């Protein structure tokens, strides 16, 4: 049962992000503080952030995009008591119809997620993105 809940938690991360459901990410997906590592995608040094600040950063980053779509799978989940590791492959597509050098970009990579069981169920407390490559108009200019 825990593996099913953890798979749904990872799916919520991607689906809620695509639909800009920031409040749902805060209430159903993240712990209050989240360790974030997006170095591979140019995201600066790994650090612990407030989940609300992470959601705000993503909301700002999606400003000007017409659509965002994540497709994730190949989940490998390991549970140790109240802690879990979730590995996932994922592709993210960004669309900006006003871009003049191509309207899409694709990010291909994997995620190393960590979750903790709380009084409200499983929540993500660590997030690492491992970019393999970007395809298309990387800057969406």
pLDDT tens digits for 89-136? 999 999 999 999 999 999 999 999 999 999 999 999 999 999 999 999
Range of the domain at 49: 2-136
Evaluated on CA atoms 11, 64, 35, 23, the torsion sign reads negative
> Under 8 Å CB-to-CB from 130, ≥6 apart: which residues?
40, 109, 110, 111, 112
126 in a structural domain? yes
- Does 87 reside within a domain? yes
At residue 123, the 3 state secondary structure works out as strand
Average pLDDT of 74-94?
98
| Mean local confidence (pLDDT), 37-61 | 96
Return the HEC string of 10-77.
Answer: HHHHHHHHHCCCHHHHHHHHEEEEEEEECHHHCCCCCEEEEHHHHHHHHHHHCCCCCEEEEEEEEEEE
Residue 141 covered by a domain:
no
In a domain, 53, yes or no: yes
User: How deeply is 63 buried, as exposed, middle or buried, from its count of CB atoms within 10 A (0-12, 13-18, 19+)?
Assistant: exposed
- Residue 44, in any domain of the structure: yes
Residue 6 lies in a domain: yes
Residue 84 lies in a domain: yes
Predicted pLDDT of residue 130: 98
- What is the predicted pLDDT for the residue at 5? 98
- 108 three-state secondary structure: strand
Mind listing the pLDDT tens digit for each residue in 13-39?
A: 999 999 999 999 999 999 999 999 999
Distance from the first to the final alpha carbon of the chain: 45
pLDDT in tens, 87-96: 999 999 999 9
> CATH number, domain at 61?
3.10.450.50
pLDDT at 108: 98
Work out how many domains the chain is built from and give that number. 1
Task: Answer yes or no: is 25 within a domain.
Answer: yes
């Amino acid at each position: 049962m825990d593996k099913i809940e953890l798979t749904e938690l990872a799916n919520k991360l991607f689906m809620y992000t695509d639909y800009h459901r920031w409040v749902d990410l805060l209430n159903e997906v993240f712990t209050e503080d989240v360790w974030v590592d997006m170095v591979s995608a140019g995201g600066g040094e790994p650090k612990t952030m407030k989940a609300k600040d992470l959601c705000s950063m993503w909301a700002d980053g999606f400003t000007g995009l017409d659509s965002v779509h994540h497709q994730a799978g190949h989940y490998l989940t390991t549970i140790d008591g109240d802690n879990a590791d979730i590995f996932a492959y994922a592709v993210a597509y960004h669309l900006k119809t006003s871009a003049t050098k191509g309207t899409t970009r694709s990010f291909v990579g994997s995620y190393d997620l960590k979750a903790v069981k709380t009084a409200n169920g499983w929540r993500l407390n660590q997030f690492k993105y491992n970019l393999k490559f970007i395809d298309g108009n990387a800057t969406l200019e």
